[in-house]
Structure 1
Amino acid sequence: MKKHFINGNAWLLIGLLIMTALFFSSSQSYQSQSQVSNLSQLLPSQPFAKQLSQVHFSYAGSSVSIEHLGYYKFVEFFLRKFAHFSSYLLLGISLYLGIKNRFNIRQLLPIVAITTWLAATGYASLDELHQMYTSGRSPLFQDVLLDSIGALTGIVIIFLISILTLRYKK
């Protein structure tokens, strides 16, 4: 029997811990999570401000630019969206590996991948719904899309590695 570095239960536990951290994070107001003051201390010279001032776009109906938000809130916006993407990327990976290790039948891998992505997307939706009831938070459909893409990216990476590993073994 093949031994895995981390077994399926451990991956599912990691996924549960990520979900718990996400739930705790969405329970806090924006003001309590804001990193603007830390960024102003960490980046007092506002590096790349001139280059970043050329970036302008709309996200969830709001203008995102240094001109509109200011340098530190602009940088924080990208840090927050990176946190969304990367935490759901890790969630997708951990859930996929946890489920895959239970049903490690090659023909089932696409079903496991789709099921995992739907579960992660469902959790992202519930997390945004939870934010609706948290003071100072705004639930955004765009964040569910970003979370979903993060989970899908993680699942696709591991899915492709799984397929390549199975082919290499043959």
Structure 2
Amino acid sequence: MVRFLQKNRKWFWSGIVLVELILFYSSSMTYEEQTSVPFLEKYLKGKPLSNFLKTISFRYGGKQQSLSNDGYYNFVEFFIRKGAHFGTYFVLGILLCLALYLYFEKNLVLQLFIPWMTTTGLAAFDEFHQGLTGGRTPSVVDVILDSSGAITGILIIILVLYLVSKHENKLNYKF
């Protein structure tokens, strides 16, 4: 496992840089440049799952989110956008954890904490950058969502690394 992590460290860092460049580019776009509503209107003509979506209503960032409040396409886009937030930082958390793992190999708390706080800081910076873009507003709630994606990815990868190393130790012990 250690050899794999050492050998691929440059790829993990390259992935981190790539994700950050994509995030920087994305957060510098206005909402009008970024919206997927026209695409959704073109390809979701029958409004699939609208009966199910009618049953969903919740508050996010001080605003009530619902099909009746936002309209079908904006409500669907909301889930796509928030899924992208969670998913992007999930991947970023995994990449940071893998890139930094060997530095904190003997300390589980640091294996979790450093990548999580780094990712959360990057999320806060991204929201700040977004606030400098016309027609966009930064959101603390989005930073929390991003941070949740990161810690989820980090916990999963730490568990996988633990299970793989435990399995490797069993194999090494038998021979």
TM-score by length of 1: 0.93
- The equivalent of 2:58 in structure 1 is 57
Percent of paired sites with the same residue: 39
Show structure 2 runs of 5+ residues with no match.
170-175
**Structure with greater helix percent:** 2
Runs of 4+ in 1 over 3 A off after TM superposition: none
Alpha-carbon separation, structure 2, partners of 1:55 and 1:2: 46
Report the residue type matching 1:161 in the other structure.
Answer: V
Q: Secondary structure at the match of 1:4?
A: helix
- 1:42-100 Cα distance to aligned partner (Å, 9 max, x none): 10000111111111111111111110110000000000000000000000011111111
Alpha-carbon separation, structure 2, partners of 1:7 and 1:84: 26
- The equivalent of 1:33 in structure 2 is 34
Alpha-carbon separation, structure 2, partners of 1:134 and 1:56: 29
Show structure 1 runs of 5+ residues with no match.
none
- The equivalent of 2:68 in structure 1 is 67
Kindly tell me the number of residue pairs found equivalent between the two proteins: 168
- The equivalent of 1:9 in structure 2 is 10
- The root-mean-square deviation of aligned C-alpha atoms, in Å, is 1.6
Task: Kindly state the Cα deviation for residue 4 of structure 1 after the two structures are TM-superposed.
Answer: 2.1
Report the residue type matching 1:135 in the other structure.
Answer: G
- The equivalent of 2:85 in structure 1 is 84
- The equivalent of 2:168 in structure 1 is 169
- The equivalent of 1:125 in structure 2 is 124
Q: Which moved more, 1:131-140 or 1:141-150?
A: 131-140
Q: Are 2:146 and 1:147 aligned?
A: yes
